[in-house]
């Protein structure tokens, strides 16, 4: 599903963010990308999203080498992945329903499809009752659920989460993580970049650890620091 | 493109247009100024061209025949000239008529004509030839010069040359001004739209992550530019139309027109063209301006 082959990334400033990364995340897998800030995990996420291109090596997504993907094709690649961020990135002047529907609008879904799909995904994230509220009327955890609903509404085959719990208190963070697990159980590949040690330890999922741009550990059922 | 998508893009375009009222207003004013200045030169140019056409039909050349041309020779030359391309009309001027014309026009020198009479004078008979296309006058002159019994040909082109020069001058000046103003307008519109783009950068980044194509992201902003352009065009047409009508009426009422025998283009005849030019300008400037402002923001 996601495969990195000898991927290195050096920014134009000269800093090498990722050095010779090799890993494969299979379809239906749940994987944590862990490391301190500045370790290179954000760069990895950006390269999966094709926001950044690798300096060398190849990235294969859904069996296709995206390294030399034409910029014109990038939007279609992104439709196969949902993405959530630490800061939720919701539109403040749109309701919960509109925020989610927006994602369907811009991939040109039919109004009929939108009317059916949005309530379904809102109930999946447990926000059926809050469709008409605005983001500033919701708690942080609820806002992240909206972001998740938006990421999932177009049925992507994978979900990329960049520090999804960074702005949340531990309990809410855990709820979001369980939700991510539920989503994974339904067949979506989930990749979570995080430095929330306790959550990673509790989830007992695959952990890819990156330090100073080098992947130094890849445990099938690991903890943040080492195998448990 | 599906209907709902098109509707969405246009609605978003209007929303952008209404969002930054100040800078949108500034763009509108600059575009109106551009269009009005251009319109002024355009109208002057069109009117000079129109006058030129009017004069062209009245002007031409005078072909003088040798001193003692016979009736037969005069008849033959008249037919030959009439058969040429670009000749609109030939008019015969007898020696007697020439005498009278000169006598009337130069009354103060009438003494010089005293030795002569209407019946007996040194004037040559001639044909006044008017042309359908003045630019071909050299060509026609060369052809007439080949004919028998032609003594000399005078082209009455001094006034025309001056007018042609004015027309060309006006044309070049208006093209120059147009280019300059269009460039300025494009950048001012680009700046306005940049503000909207900046205000909506979060939305744009979300759109990019969800997989919106560049075209889809760009359209509302292009529509915003087009709306500004079209509204500016409409305002300019109203202002220019009203002022043109006013000025034309003033000129027609005054004595100037009868003095220099000037006719102005009527409003209706010129304004379909002005409207078309303005709409093309407005849409073109709007589209280009927004395209420029979007370039940077689409690289995510």
Domain tally for chain B? Answer: 2
The one-digit pLDDT tens for each residue of chain B (300 residues) are: 445 667 777 887 787 778 777 778 888 888 888 888 888 888 887 887 777 776 665 567 888 888 777 888 888 888 888 888 888 888 888 888 887 877 776 666 666 777 777 777 777 888 888 877 767 777 888 888 888 888 888 776 556 666 677 777 877 887 888 888 888 888 888 888 888 888 888 888 888 888 888 888 888 888 888 888 899 999 999 999 888 888 877 777 776 555 555 567 777 777 888 888 888 988 888 888 888 887 766 664
Do B289 and B189 form a contact (C-beta atoms < 8 A)?
Answer: yes
In terms of domains, do B167 and B288 share one? yes
Q: How far apart are CA B298 and CA B219, in angstroms?
A: 12
Lowest mean pLDDT among A153-157, A220-224, B25-29, B213-217: A220-224
Q: What is the CATH number of the domain that holds B74?
A: 3.30.70.3040
In terms of domains, do B21 and B70 share one? no
Residue B247 lies in domain: 3-55+161-298
For chain B, how long is the longest CA-to-CA vector?
Answer: 102
Q: How far apart are CA A151 and CA B197, in angstroms?
A: 23
Please judge whether A107 and B8 are an interchain contact, meaning their C-beta atoms are less than 8 angstroms apart: no
Q: How far apart are CA A94 and CA A134, in angstroms?
A: 6
Report pLDDT for B184: 85
Please judge whether B300 and A75 are an interchain contact, meaning their C-beta atoms are less than 8 angstroms apart: no
Look up the ipTM and state it: 0.83
Whether chain B has a CB inside 8 Å of the CB on A23: the answer is: no
In terms of domains, do B187 and B202 share one? yes
> Structure tokens of A190?
């989930």
> Structure tokens of A142?
């609820």
Report pLDDT for B182: 84
Q: How far apart are CA B272 and CA B268, in angstroms?
A: 7
Do B210 and A107 form a contact (C-beta atoms < 8 A)?
Answer: yes
Report pLDDT for A47: 94
Residue from A225, A181, A208, A219 nearest A45 by CA = A208
Distance from CA of B27 to the nearest CA of A (A): 26
Do B261 and B55 form a contact (C-beta atoms < 8 A)?
Answer: no
Domain boundary among B156, B189, B206: B156
Distance from CA of A225 to the nearest CA of B (A): 31
In terms of domains, do B216 and B165 share one? yes
* Interface list for B 4-33 with A (CB within 8 A): 4-5, 8
Residue from A81, A121, A74 nearest A97 by CA = A121
Q: How many CA atoms lie within 13 A of B85 on its CB side?
A: 5
3-class DSSP state of B138: helix
In terms of domains, do B262 and B242 share one? yes
In terms of domains, do B166 and B266 share one? yes
Neighbouring residues of A192: CB distance < 8 A, sequence distance ≥ 6: A30, A31, A32, A33, A161, A164, A177, A180
Report pLDDT for B160: 63
Please judge whether A105 and B214 are an interchain contact, meaning their C-beta atoms are less than 8 angstroms apart: no
In terms of domains, do B71 and B113 share one? yes
**Residues paired with B128 in a beta bridge:** B62, B91
In which residue are the tokens 């009327």 written?
A: A137
Give the distance, in angstroms, between the CA of residue A219 and the centroid of all CA atoms in the same chain.
Answer: 20
In terms of domains, do B65 and B38 share one? no
Q: How far apart are CA B243 and CA B35, in angstroms?
A: 14
Domain boundary among B156, B186, B213: B156
Q: What is the pLDDT of residues B211-243, one digit of tens each?
A: 888 888 888 888 888 888 899 999 999 999 888
Q: Going from the N-terminus, what domains does chain A have, and what CATH number goes with each?
A: 1-80+156-228 (3.40.50.300), 91-155 (no CATH)
Distance from CA of B22 to the nearest CA of A (A): 21
In terms of domains, do B247 and B225 share one? yes
From B2, B205, B216, residue closest to A106, measured CB to CB: B216
Please judge whether B207 and A106 are an interchain contact, meaning their C-beta atoms are less than 8 angstroms apart: yes
Distance from CA of A106 to the nearest CA of B (A): 5
CB contacts, 8 Å: B300 with chain A:
51
| Chain B interface, best mutation among A53, A108, A149, by max B CB count within 10 A | A108
Per cent of chain A over pLDDT 90 is: 77
H/E element, A122: helix A111-124
Sign of CA dihedral A168, A171, A172, A176: positive
In terms of domains, do B103 and B251 share one? no
For residue B206, the chain A residue with the least C-alpha distance is A89
* Main-chain phi, psi angles of A206, to 5 degrees: -65, 135
Q: How far apart are CA A190 and CA A210, in angstroms?
A: 18
CB contacts, 8 Å: A66 with chain B:
none
CB contacts, 8 Å: B212 with chain A:
75, 106-107
Domain boundary among B99, B122, B156: B156
Report pLDDT for B299: 60
Do B186 and B292 form a contact (C-beta atoms < 8 A)?
Answer: yes
DSSP H helical segments within chain B, as ranges? Answer: 3-19, 21-58, 71-82, 95-105, 110-113, 137-146, 158-199, 201-210, 214-253, 256-260, 267-294
In terms of domains, do B291 and B208 share one? yes
* Residue A201 CB neighbours (<10 A): 14
CB contacts, 8 Å: A83 with chain B:
209
* Interface list for B 213-232 with A (CB within 8 A): 213-214, 216
> Structure tokens of B47?
């009117």
CA-to-CA separations, A26 to A3, A47, A64, A179, B127, in angstroms, rounded = 8, 17, 14, 20, 98
In terms of domains, do B101 and B46 share one? no
For residue A93, the chain B residue with the least C-alpha distance is B203
* Interface list for A 72-131 with B (CB within 8 A): 72, 75-79, 83, 89, 91, 102-103, 105-108, 110-111
Q: What size, in residues, is chain A?
A: 228
> Structure tokens of A103?
């994602």
Mean of pLDDT values over A17-40: 92
Lowest mean pLDDT among A96-100, A124-128, B251-255: B251-255
Do B290 and B189 form a contact (C-beta atoms < 8 A)?
Answer: yes
Distance from CA of B203 to the nearest CA of A (A): 7
């Amino acid at each position: 599903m996601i495969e990195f082959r000898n991927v290195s990334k050096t920014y134009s400033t000269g800093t090498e963010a990722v050095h010779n990364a090799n890993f494969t995340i299979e379809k239906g897998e749940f994987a944590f990308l862990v490391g301190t800030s500045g370790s290179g995990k954000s760069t990895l996420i950006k390269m999966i999203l094709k926001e950044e291109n690798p300096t060398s090596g190849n990235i294969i997504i859904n069996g296709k080498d995206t390294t030399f993907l034409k910029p014109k094709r990038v939007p279609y690649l992104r439709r196969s992945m949902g993405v959530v961020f630490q800061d939720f990135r919701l539109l403040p002047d749109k309701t919960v329903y509109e925020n989610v529907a927006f994602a369907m609008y811009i991939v040109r879904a039919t109004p009929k499809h939108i009317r059916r799909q949005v309530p379904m995904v809102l109930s999946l994230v447990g926000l059926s009752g809050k469709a008409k509220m605005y983001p500033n009327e919701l708690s942080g955890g609820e806002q992240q659920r909206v972001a998740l609903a938006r990421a999932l509404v177009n049925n992507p085959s994978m979900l990329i989460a960049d520090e999804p719990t960074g702005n949340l208190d531990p309990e809410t963070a855990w709820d979001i993580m369980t939700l991510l697990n539920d989503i994974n159980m339904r067949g979506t590949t989930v990749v979570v970049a995080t430095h929330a040690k306790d959550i990673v330890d509790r989830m007992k999922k695959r952990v890819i650890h990156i330090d100073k741009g080098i992947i130094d550990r890849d445990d099938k059922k690991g903890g943040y620091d080492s195998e448990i | 493109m599906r209907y709902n998508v098109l509707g969405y893009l246009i609605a978003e375009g209007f929303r952008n247009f209404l969002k930054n009222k100040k800078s949108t207003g500034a763009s509108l004013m600059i575009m109106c100024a551009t269009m009005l200045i251009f319109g002024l030169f355009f109208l002057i140019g069109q009117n000079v061209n129109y006058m030129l056409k009017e004069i062209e039909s009245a002007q031409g050349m005078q072909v003088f025949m040798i001193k003692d041309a016979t009736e037969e020779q005069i008849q033959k030359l008249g037919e030959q000239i009439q058969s040429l391309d670009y000749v609109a009309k030939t008019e015969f001027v007898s020696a007697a008529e020439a005498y009278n014309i000169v006598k009337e026009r130069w009354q103060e020198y009438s003494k010089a004509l005293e030795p002569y009479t209407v019946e007996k004078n040194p004037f040559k008979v001639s044909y006044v030839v008017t042309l359908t296309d003045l630019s071909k006058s050299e060509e026609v002159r060369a052809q007439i010069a080949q004919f028998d019994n032609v003594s000399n040909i005078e082209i009455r082109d001094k006034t025309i040359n001056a007018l042609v020069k004015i027309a060309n001058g006006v044309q070049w000046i208006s093209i120059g001004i147009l280019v300059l103003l269009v460039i300025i307008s494009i950048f001012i519109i680009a700046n306005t739209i940049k503000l909207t783009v900046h205000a909506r950068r979060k939305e744009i980044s979300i759109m990019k992550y969800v997989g919106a194509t560049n075209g889809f992201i760009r359209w509302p902003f292009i529509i915003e530019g087009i709306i500004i352009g079209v509204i500016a065009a409409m305002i300019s047409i109203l202002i220019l139309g009203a002022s043109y009508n006013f000025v034309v009426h003033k000129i027609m009422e005054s004595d100037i027109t009868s003095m220099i025998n000037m006719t102005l283009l009527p409003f209706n005849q010129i304004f379909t063209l002005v409207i078309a030019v303005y709409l093309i300008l407005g849409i073109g400037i709007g589209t280009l301006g927004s395209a420029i402002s979007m370039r940077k923001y689409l690289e995510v």
